[in-house]
Amino acid sequence: MNTDHSDVSQGNILVVDDTPANLQLLTGILENHGYTARPVKDGKMALWGARGTIPPDLILLDIVMPDMDGYEVCQQLKADERTRDIPVIFLSTLDDVSDKIKAFSIGGVDYITKPFKEEEVLARVQTHLELKHAREKLKQQNLELIEAARLREDIERITRHDLKTPLSTIISFPDMIIANEELTDQSVRFLKIIEESGYRMLKMINLSLDLFKMEQGIYQVQPVPLDIVPVINKIAAEMHRLMQSRKVSLNIVLQGHPVGDDEQFTVRGEELLCYSMLANVMKNALEASSEGECVTLTLDGEADEGLICLHNTGVVPEGIRDSFFEKYVTSGKGATGTGLGTYSAKLIAETQQGSIGMSTSAHDGTTVTIRLPKAAPEQRKYLSTVKKAPMESAATLEILLVEDNEFNFELAKFVLEKKGHKITGAMNGLEALELMSHSDFDIILMDVQMPKMDGITATEYIRQCESGIIPGGIEHRDVLNKLHKRIAGSHIPVIAMTAQAMDGDREKCLESGMDDYITKPFKPDEVFSVIGRLADLKFKIS
């Protein structure tokens, strides 16, 4: 019998039987076939061996033993987190069906009846060791997937917050400089290039991880009534140089006539997603057109469905027609083509509960048809009203601006003061609470991610103090006692200003008691509209 197990072993097996002859026979069979066998003669020693520093890969367990039978041993093994995953094969002279059912019901993976055959024991041992190793491998892969998902989330937060914070400054300051300085036309053009480049980078940041979520089917779309005409006009303006270089024109048609400046075509979707989807298919159509040709974009549809049809005279090569919307499919673009444009357009259309299709022939050219849900009539009416009359507060407000980034603070302060509002600044949530404990404010603009105290925590404390509750068990008791005395029974509007824009962030902000949510880089018109709507919300609770 081979007793030297310093070499490689196929598995570490604990053999439990109160009969010495059976122990010797089983141990010999296993060791002769490359396994490490550890014989023990009763249930207590079996539990001790299973819970040792080197747990077994598998247990061969006799049922009929004195003091503690195999059933009780198995039950204790399965109740212990350290040993519950070790597979147990029962060995017994008991051959009744009820005995086998009991063995399986308490956690056994197999049942061998004595007297056993060597080939049967080896086959079952090998099978269950392989299953155990497969489960362990799957468990490890799951852990790696969980860690990868956590890493992706960390990267997403870094991308969404840490990159967008300085980017918001790059995007927002050019307009401030243009509005307040006497500049040459060339300087204005350069500043506009900086601004537009910032917006392009922002769109890339926002879209990159969203596409991954769409592939996984976990993207949470938040459709709103969206006038698609300004989106198309913006893309057309950005592609003006491409059209000039290729001597190609773009004709936009709405319900059978050229679209007018004040006309709308309202669908339900997300602006960034629709922008990316349309930019991809419009660029493809322009690049596929020959010199002097016209690409036609037609907007049409019935009450519940909006059709966006893009036609050009080019023909899609026959070899890629069936795979036109598949990933990495491209033709005629050399090293510059990624094959992701039409693929991402399909993902975006379907994510927004729409669809996209393509038809092509030498006679008719190529038409890409996008179908999106249309906004209900009352939503289109509301969108029109909002566009024509954005709300804005005419009164001078005392605004507490809570922002830890100095550039974002200076930008927001400049924009708000230009409208006549009085601004007090705080670097974090705790500093904001301290200022509120001795000064009155009409409205609070609150960053979310800040040192010392984040915006959500600060807002929760504010709402508790307003409700007459003094938060307990916290280190800032003196500040909160003063705050409670000052604001109890009132409601001060709090607006989140954040660069995160992650799934669920808006909900977290609103659940904390914030009244609205603005994503950085903010648009001044959006800020003034939200402030105007909430300016009258400050009140005393009767």
Q: Following DSSP, what letter does each residue of 145-158 receive, concatenated?
A: HHHHHHHHHHHHHI
Residue keyed to tokens 């001795």: 438
Confidence of residue 459 (pLDDT cuts 50, 70, 90): very high
Per-residue pLDDT at 105 = 94
In this predicted structure, which of 81-85, 332-336, 417-421, 428-432 has the lowest mean pLDDT?
332-336
CB 161 within 8 A of CB 202: no
Calculate the average pLDDT of the chain. Answer: 84
* Surface-to-core class of residue 488, CB atoms within 10 Å of its CB (0-12 exposed, 13-18 middle, 19+ buried): middle
Confidence of residue 528 (pLDDT cuts 50, 70, 90): confident
Helix-, strand-, coil-residue percentages of the chain, each rounded to 5: 50, 20, 30
Residues 378 and 395 in one domain: no
Residues 194 and 312 in one domain: no
Q: Which residues are 249's β-sheet partners?
A: 294
In this predicted structure, which of 303-317, 458-472, 489-503 has the lowest mean pLDDT?
489-503
Determine the Cα–Cα distance for residues 539 and 542; give it in Å rounded to an integer.
Answer: 9
Per-residue pLDDT at 6 = 40
Report, as an integer, the average pLDDT of 343-349: 91
Whether 237 maps to a domain, the answer reads yes
Half-sphere exposure of 140 (CA within 13 A, CB side): 6
Whether 144 maps to a domain, the answer reads no
Confidence of residue 57 (pLDDT cuts 50, 70, 90): very high
Report, as an integer, the average pLDDT of 273-285: 90
Report, as an integer, the average pLDDT of 354-375: 92
Residues 229 and 328 in one domain: yes
Whether 130 maps to a domain, the answer reads no
Per-residue pLDDT at 471 = 81
How remote is the C-alpha of 374 from its chain's centroid? 26
Confidence of residue 158 (pLDDT cuts 50, 70, 90): low
Residues 359 and 477 in one domain: no
Number of domains in the chain: 4
Interval 101-123: pLDDT, tens: 999 999 999 999 998 899 999 99
Q: 3-class DSSP state for residue 28?
A: helix
Cβ atoms within 10 A of the Cβ of 53, count? Answer: 4
> pTM of the prediction?
0.51
In this predicted structure, which of 119-123, 194-198, 504-508 has the lowest mean pLDDT?
504-508
Residues 398 and 529 in one domain: yes
Residues 477 and 506 in one domain: yes
Domain that holds residue 490: 390-540
Whether 129 maps to a domain, the answer reads no
Whether 138 maps to a domain, the answer reads no
**163 or 177, which is more confident?**
177
pLDDT at 361 over 50: yes
Phi, psi values for residue 225, rounded to 5°: -60, 125
Rounded to 5°, the CA angle 359-339-332 comes to: 75
Residue where one domain finishes, among candidates 166, 185, 216: 216
Residues 525 and 416 in one domain: yes
